[in-house]
A and B are shown apart, each in its own frame.
Chain A
């Protein structure tokens, strides 16, 4: 008990106060006695949680900090549920008790995270608590606040969806969304990405070994990266038809330039000392290429692959907006549902798109780790 966690302590005290929230939530005059009781029961666990949080804030222990995070999330969730129940028949926005409850528990979570984040050591429990738990709790925090805000302000679904609405769509229509994702990813993103990346590497190789082309082509390639390439989508739609080919073509162009630029940079920015060393070994051009230049270019190439993997997905989705073809694919789903006011479907589709994006990005990161594990950015931690 060296230092008291003041943030968490404040949150905990507030949480204890907010335990009496049901008496202030809703318009109290319109609450009937029965609902009041029901709400009070739901808030009883909050009382216990608040008490635990006070304890957790007073002691510096990793397990109590973990408890703080979990208790805070649980408390915010319970408060939300209680609010939903107590106001189920009353069409009123939340009163200050509800907001205090939410705020105090979020404060508790932040306090817990800040204690976990400064843990020292390399043990597995430390690593989970320090490196994995804080980022994992952020979306939960975000979702809770999102749900609480939309619920508390009684925002209509046609205006902005709730997390629970999106969840409903995700579990009821996941088949359609998976089919959309497969079409968007495998038919458009992946094919376009592979073609664009391989052709980019080939062109990059050629450009890198000619000073003339480097001087002439690189400034252009950098300038071209400022063109909103998705603007090309309608043009390509006219050339390749409105089906998946045109969107794959967008993916090709989008992934081409970053790869060219990075391949050239990787092949040319070489430590002169290493070149000298190779020369002192009397290494031929071939050895220099395969043993020095190509390994040296690999980190750059993977950097380009990572950048391209993100923008390819976005570009394909936008080009699906701009080339309205058959109503299949995530982009079409997003644009059609947004236009008809079904924002819950929109967000469900976006959820799938981000999952694909994260998986795709991390797949490339895994590849990078496998191929360039010797690089300094992986060694130092």
Chain B
């Protein structure tokens, strides 16, 4: 009792320590990914900064905005033109001083306003125009489920079930069109039946209206609450907006400007930067000629502009000479180099620094209507949060193993091929066959080596060298070749036996040879004095002397053939066995399940090694140690 406690207690303590060490280890393994998610701007969430609309439109001389505004950093624009007439700004309020401007064009929406109707339609797609109820600006917003609509799917999950649901231009009626269970919405008929041919597939997924309204398709909007009878619902087709000024001196010389938000998304096609009422184009223009490595003179569609080569801005006078539309390079641009002419280029995306082709004339204003920036890390504010929110952890946190184990074992019924126990049995069968095959070859070789000594001299170096041949590398080929003979791993155990056997025959050969040799010289002398033949010596002395060595090498071979079996299962396209399950979990990114499978396979290894020990006790009871 005391003995087993002495042996077991340290094991448990080490297991507990390893369990605890699992946390920092999991963090360490996940750290590079988490750090990338935190620091790589491309993985940040994007925010589109737009010129914003006034919240009230009834009182045109007193426009109110949601945020406080300042004439220093912004300006009033109308349809891409700065408003020239005088206005004063005070906090959130803006007062137009002249009546000449008609700053808002509103179109009433078609649809009954009776306190019940929540669905309204427009003539043409106007999804990005602001919507006013009476004179109050409404807030758009909706939640999209993560599931992709495939025309057949019925269930979609949301984070919350408050509010109304809409699908493809229709308000969904609870009970009739859908039922809710927790956060799961189940449609009564597949989404495809709502679909008409002209619609985008994305509209086929149900949405939850979270703001005041949401567009249910590109000409239908659904309100969260029906507007009361007598109110007016108006879509602004043109409205004054408060736009952002760019930082930078406008003195007729300076060409460098800064946007107010950092971390500009550089490949943003929606970006709209204006100089007065002139929209600077984001797209570059190609020259007429192609860069072939020899041409030095290129003709661009317009004079001026900033010339870039493969995305790098060139300097006029230094890299090239410009004469109207013709640009002559000092050195011919390399073949297939991409030459483009821009109105402006992003000099520094992180600092949101722009360089314009032409310096804006003194007195003009440079402003941004829309641009997109990388806002903040999607995963959280620090590395630890990012680590926790990783979608696929390289190493799971240890306690996940316990939380996922019940679902893992109950996931597949016994009848299914993917049932864990059946997978284990399938792999165990493969391992056993591989071990027997490797054992047979190994013992045969060892016997040959001992009986015919020259054979050992000739072959043993190559048996050792055979282990440096990555036979596992041949698995894909072996499987293909055997498949040509009609032998697949589903119908035959042969590929597994070959690969597992190849891995296990080596230790058995070496161990058994050593065992057959390590005979007590006295016993040999005795046999000689009996005039025993070579064969009698082999079967009556050598074989028995080799027993402990043979079983020791079978233990090593058992572990090797398990590894071989698992690997041969991963390399084939059958859907059976622990190896295949491991591969499946790897591809699914289900890390906790993956580690459970590792634990199972190492337990299998222990069982196999100790099974060899039990067989040893059965076969050679005289070897039992005291």
Sample of 13 more A-B contacts, CB < 8 Å, known A227-B598, A334-B473, A350-B474: A116-B454, A134-B454, A134-B457, A216-B15, A220-B14, A223-B603, A226-B602, A226-B604, A239-B32, A317-B470, A338-B477, A349-B473, A361-B464
Q: Report chain B residues within 8 Å CB of A331.
A: 470, 473
**CB atoms of A353 and B470 under 8 A apart:** yes
Q: A223-B606, A228-B601 are in contact. Are A350 and B469 (CB under 8 A)?
A: yes
Q: Secondary structure of the A side of the interface?
A: helix
Question: Which of B11, B459, B470, B480 lies in contact with A313, CB distance below 8 A?
Answer: B470
Band of interface residues on B: 35 or more
**CB atoms of B7 and A215 under 8 A apart:** yes
Alpha-carbon distance A317/B472, docked complex (angstroms): 9
The segment from B347-355, B487-495, B558-566 found at the interface with A is: B558-566
Q: Report chain B residues within 8 Å CB of A213.
A: 10, 14
The segment from A20-28, A135-143, A164-172, A275-283 found at the interface with B is: A135-143
Q: CB of A335 within 8 A of chain B?
A: yes
Alpha-carbon distance A269/B380, docked complex (angstroms): 53
Question: How far, in Å, is A329 (CB) from chain B's closest CB?
Answer: 12
**CB atoms of B457 and A227 under 8 A apart:** no
**CB atoms of A130 and B33 under 8 A apart:** no
Q: Report chain A residues within 8 Å CB of B606.
A: 223, 226
Q: 1/0 per residue B125-150: CB within 8 Å of A?
A: 00000000000000000000000000
Sorted nearest first, the 5 A-B pairs with minimum C-beta distance are: A226-B605, A117-B454, A357-B468, A216-B14, A216-B10
Q: CB of B594 within 8 A of chain A?
A: yes
Question: Which of A223, A226, A350 lies in contact with B562, CB distance below 8 A?
Answer: A226
Question: How far, in Å, is B549 (CB) from chain A's closest CB?
Answer: 16
Question: How far, in Å, is A149 (CB) from chain B's closest CB?
Answer: 14
Q: 1/0 per residue B386-421: CB within 8 Å of A?
A: 000000101100000000000000000000000000
Contact sample, A vs B, 25 pairs, CB 8 Å cutoff? A114-B452, A135-B460, A135-B462, A212-B10, A213-B14, A216-B11, A223-B603, A231-B570, A231-B579, A234-B586, A236-B394, A238-B33, A239-B30, A239-B395, A310-B467, A313-B470, A317-B470, A318-B472, A322-B586, A335-B473, A343-B477, A346-B477, A350-B469, A357-B465, A361-B468
Question: How far, in Å, is A17 (CB) from chain B's closest CB?
Answer: 26
Q: CB of B309 within 8 A of chain A?
A: no
Question: How far, in Å, is A155 (CB) from chain B's closest CB?
Answer: 10
Question: How far, in Å, is B181 (CB) from chain A's closest CB?
Answer: 34
Q: CB of B49 within 8 A of chain A?
A: no
Alpha-carbon distance A118/B559, docked complex (angstroms): 36
Question: How far, in Å, is B575 (CB) from chain A's closest CB?
Answer: 17
Alpha-carbon distance A219/B97, docked complex (angstroms): 87
Q: CB of A285 within 8 A of chain B?
A: no
Question: How far, in Å, is B241 (CB) from chain A's closest CB?
Answer: 44
**CB atoms of B472 and A215 under 8 A apart:** no
Q: Report chain B residues within 8 Å CB of A137.
A: 458
Q: CB of A61 within 8 A of chain B?
A: no
Q: Report chain B residues within 8 Å CB of A232.
A: 598
**CB atoms of A318 and B470 under 8 A apart:** yes
Question: How far, in Å, is A245 (CB) from chain B's closest CB?
Answer: 9
**CB atoms of B15 and A220 under 8 A apart:** yes
Q: Report chain A residues within 8 Å CB of B33.
A: 238-239
**CB atoms of B453 and A117 under 8 A apart:** yes
Alpha-carbon distance A134/B589, docked complex (angstroms): 51
Q: CB of A131 within 8 A of chain B?
A: yes
Question: How far, in Å, is A189 (CB) from chain B's closest CB?
Answer: 11
Question: How far, in Å, is B231 (CB) from chain A's closest CB?
Answer: 55
Task: Name which residue of chain A comes closest to B556, CB basis.
Answer: A225
Alpha-carbon distance A361/B468, docked complex (angstroms): 8
Q: CB of A371 within 8 A of chain B?
A: no
Question: How far, in Å, is A271 (CB) from chain B's closest CB?
Answer: 19
Q: Report chain A residues within 8 Å CB of B314.
A: none
Q: Report chain B residues within 8 Å CB of A226.
A: 559, 562-563, 601-602, 604-606, 608-609
Task: Name which residue of chain B comes closest to A159, CB basis.
Answer: B484
Q: CB of B486 within 8 A of chain A?
A: no
Q: Report chain A residues within 8 Å CB of B566.
A: 228, 231
Task: Name which residue of chain B comes closest to A316, CB basis.
Answer: B470
Q: Report chain A residues within 8 Å CB of B30.
A: 239
Q: A353-B473, A358-B468 are in contact. Are A227 and B18 (CB under 8 A)?
A: no
Alpha-carbon distance A291/B556, docked complex (angstroms): 32
**CB atoms of A114 and B454 under 8 A apart:** yes
Q: 1/0 per residue A199-216: CB within 8 Å of B?
A: 000000000000011111
Q: Report chain B residues within 8 Å CB of A346.
A: 473-474, 477
Q: CB of B582 within 8 A of chain A?
A: yes
Q: Report chain A residues within 8 Å CB of B484.
A: 159
**CB atoms of A235 and B462 under 8 A apart:** no
Task: Name which residue of chain A comes closest to B506, CB basis.
Answer: A310
**CB atoms of B480 and A338 under 8 A apart:** yes
**CB atoms of A235 and B586 under 8 A apart:** yes
Question: How far, in Å, is A299 (CB) from chain B's closest CB?
Answer: 15
Q: Report chain B residues within 8 Å CB of A354.
A: 465, 468-470
**CB atoms of A223 and B605 under 8 A apart:** yes
Q: CB of A2 within 8 A of chain B?
A: no
